[in-house]
């Protein structure tokens, strides 16, 4: 059984070939991807289109397997919601994205879970700023 298989079974989602492919693309990526990126990497192998990908991503997001992060550049980024998930630092002038390699919210999440009894499945956090190149031109 593959890793993708296990992930889907764990949350009672049917293991379809398309969901598995999307998960494996996300699993193999070092950075968050847009639905267009995912389409680029999967359409050659199976008959995928953007609406199929949206539907699959929504199901995966609802189950907390995938993190959905709207960004200031107008795109929505997806990544696997694991311990190594990353946040983004975005330049508000040129939309350059730098990945933040740690999640500063783990402790807050744990405290919130204890306080409220919620099982937290995801969160959104994006930093905005001005990159060094843009700062030079100001």
Binding mask 30-69 for Zn ion (x = CB under 5 A): ----------------------------------------
* Residue 89 binds Zn ion, judged by CB under 5 A: no
Binding Zn ion (rule: CB under 5 A), the pick from 96, 109, 122, 126 is 96
Q: Is the dihedral of CA 62, 35, 70, 133 positive or negative?
A: positive
* Residue 105 binds Zn ion, judged by CB under 5 A: yes
Q: How far is the CB of 10 from Zn ion (least distance, A)?
A: 20
Task: Name the segment binding Zn ion (CB under 5 A); options: 30-38, 47-55, 73-81, 92-100.
Answer: 92-100
């Amino acid at each position: 059984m593959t890793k993708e298989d296990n992930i889907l079974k764990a949350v009672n989602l049917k293991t379809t070939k398309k969901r598995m492919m999307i998960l494996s693309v996300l699993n193999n990526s070092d950075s968050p991807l847009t639905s267009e990126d995912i389409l680029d990497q999967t359409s050659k192998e199976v008959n995928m289109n953007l609406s199929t990908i949206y539907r699959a991503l929504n199901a995966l997001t609802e189950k907390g397997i995938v993190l959905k992060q709207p960004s200031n550049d107008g795109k929505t980024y997806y990544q696997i919601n694991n311990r190594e998930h990353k946040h983004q630092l975005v330049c508000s002038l040129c939309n350059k994205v730098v990945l933040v390699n740690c999640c500063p919210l783990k402790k807050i999440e744990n405290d919130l879970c204890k306080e409220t009894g919620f099982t937290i499945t995801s969160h959104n956090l994006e930093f905005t700023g001005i990159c060094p190149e843009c700062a030079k031109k100001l």
